[in-house]
Amino acid sequence: MKLKGYPSFLLIPISYLCKVSVLLSLTEIASQCPLYLNYAKGIEEGSFLFECADLILNRSQLICFRNKFRITEAELFVFQEGHWDPFTLGAEGKKAGDMQSKPGQWFLHGSGIEYTFGEPGKFRAILLRGIEPVEGKGEKTENAWDTREQLLRMCNDDLIRNLRMEQASFAKRDIQFSARLNLQRKIDPKFADLPYRFSAIPLVE
């Protein structure tokens, strides 16, 4: 769906709508981001990657009018001192990438919708790949494009006023980590293989 009068990418300031604790938590976690870790033995609790995934999947929710969604899958992108992830848009030196250096934004682009938690010279974003309704209307999505399109529809194409992220208290789910999707591995195999895609595994009742 193309929005009339909107460019192919869209930056939407929502920091005044987002409970500051989510944004501050993400920023604090990102400050611990290492140059590179060997994750062959798994993701340890307390590590920057685990804490980021747990915050997004188990302790955050999206709210649009009376509709609430739990994030079920996301990907992490960070380009900053000591962690030069070439797959972050800010690494490409394009104007659109500059948007990832701003805190508390919804960033729409051709791949989906991101929530940014950057700072000057530090490009950071969470790409939303899947959501599920927990209150009100909505449908479960399992890819980045459908997630973007549903949120736009539910928010009447006005994310500035109608979409926010807040802390939540969900039943804790285990998290599965894997490599991000649709990356050109030849650009940088090390970063392409990092387990920066995380999914919440539903509890079996």
Taking only the tens place, the pLDDT of each residue in 9-49 is: 455 444 434 444 688 888 888 877 775 666 777 888 888 89
- Tens of pLDDT, residue by residue over 69-109, are 999 999 999 999 888 999 998 887 767 678 899 888 899 88
Give the C-alpha separation, 153 to 200, whole Å: 24
Give the C-alpha separation, 84 to 36, whole Å: 10
Structure tokens at 41: 């033995």
- Domain boundaries, given as residue ranges, for the chain: 10-175
Give the C-alpha separation, 6 to 4, whole Å: 5
Structure tokens at 204: 């079996």
Give the C-alpha separation, 148 to 109, whole Å: 9
Residue 73: beta bridge partners?
A: 130, 199
The pTM of this model reads 0.85
Give the C-alpha separation, 62 to 167, whole Å: 9
Residue 146 reports pLDDT greater than 90: yes
CATH of 10-175, one of 3.30.70, 3.10.180, 3.10.300, 3.30.300: 3.10.300
Distance, first Cα to last Cα, the chain: 37
